[in-house]
Amino acid sequence: MKIIMLGAPGAGKGTQAKLIAEKYNIPHISTGDIFRANIKEGTKLGKEAKQYMDKGQLVPDELTVRILLDRVSKDDCKNGYVLDGFPRTIPQAEVLDTEVAKLGEKIDFAIDVDVPDENIIHRMSGRRSCPGCGKTYHIVHVPPKKEGICDDCGKELVLRDDDKPETVKNRLDVYHKQTQPLIDYYSKQNILRTVDGTQDMNDVFTAITALLEA
């Protein structure tokens, strides 16, 4: 089962992708995680990606496609995978379809986690990250035991640049312009499924599994 997760940044598609991966025993592949790992390791690719991410811009197709295709060619992807954060543009989607078709395969589902912009801005500006271990919190929904301090390693939590309201709004503008067309793209292929992302996390997951198993 090859699944693509769609939805604006902060819609919760990453959380749902992890739950799907766990339930169906397939890898969760997040371009964001791959980029962050490269940034942390200070690789050439990481430095390139960071320049775009810090401004709330999308990492260019060429960089993203290279790293993604290498990942899905690994043995653990033979039974499928959940793509989170890719494709983000029509050209990326077309490249993915072409490469998957070369293997005699196809994408089975594109799941759109739909959440209004104002909900996302409120949700993301409350996120806090630990610069030490990378654990994330939310000041309302998942607060640390001690305010502003990571439960696991005791470091002071930070509001990441890409979670600041002005950056989030920029990211949403970019999303609507470049990524929203994918909804039409996958709708025409009859593989698009939409869920209401404003519900409780577990209800969203229940809705997704019902669609996957329909």
| Arithmetic mean of pLDDT over the chain | 90
In-domain check, residue 181: yes
Q: Which residue out of 88, 123, 128, 193 is catalytically annotated?
A: 88
Active site residue 66: no
Q: Which residue out of 2, 127, 128, 193 is catalytically annotated?
A: 127
Active site residue 88: yes
Task: Provide, rounded to the nearest whole percent, the portion of the chain with pLDDT above 70.
Answer: 100
6 has a pLDDT exceeding 90: yes
Active site residue 128: no
In-domain check, residue 127: no
178 has a pLDDT exceeding 90: no
56 has a pLDDT exceeding 90: no
137 has a pLDDT exceeding 80: yes
pTM score: 0.76
CB atoms within 10 A of CB 104: 6
In-domain check, residue 51: yes
| Separation of alpha carbons 54 and 160, rounded Å | 9
- Identify whether the C-beta of residue 30 lies closer than 8 Å to the C-beta of residue 143: no
The string of pLDDT tens digits covering residues 37-46 is: 788 889 888 8
Tally of structural domains, the chain:
1
| Separation of alpha carbons 6 and 14, rounded Å | 10
pLDDT band at 74 (very low <50, low <70, confident <90, very high): confident
In-domain check, residue 29: yes
Burial of 17 (0-12, 13-18, 19+ CB in 10 A): buried
Domain that holds residue 96: 2-115+173-212
In-domain check, residue 190: yes
Active site residue 160: yes
What CATH code is carried by the domain that includes residue 62?
Answer: 3.40.50.300
Q: Which residue out of 18, 160, 164, 169 is catalytically annotated?
A: 160
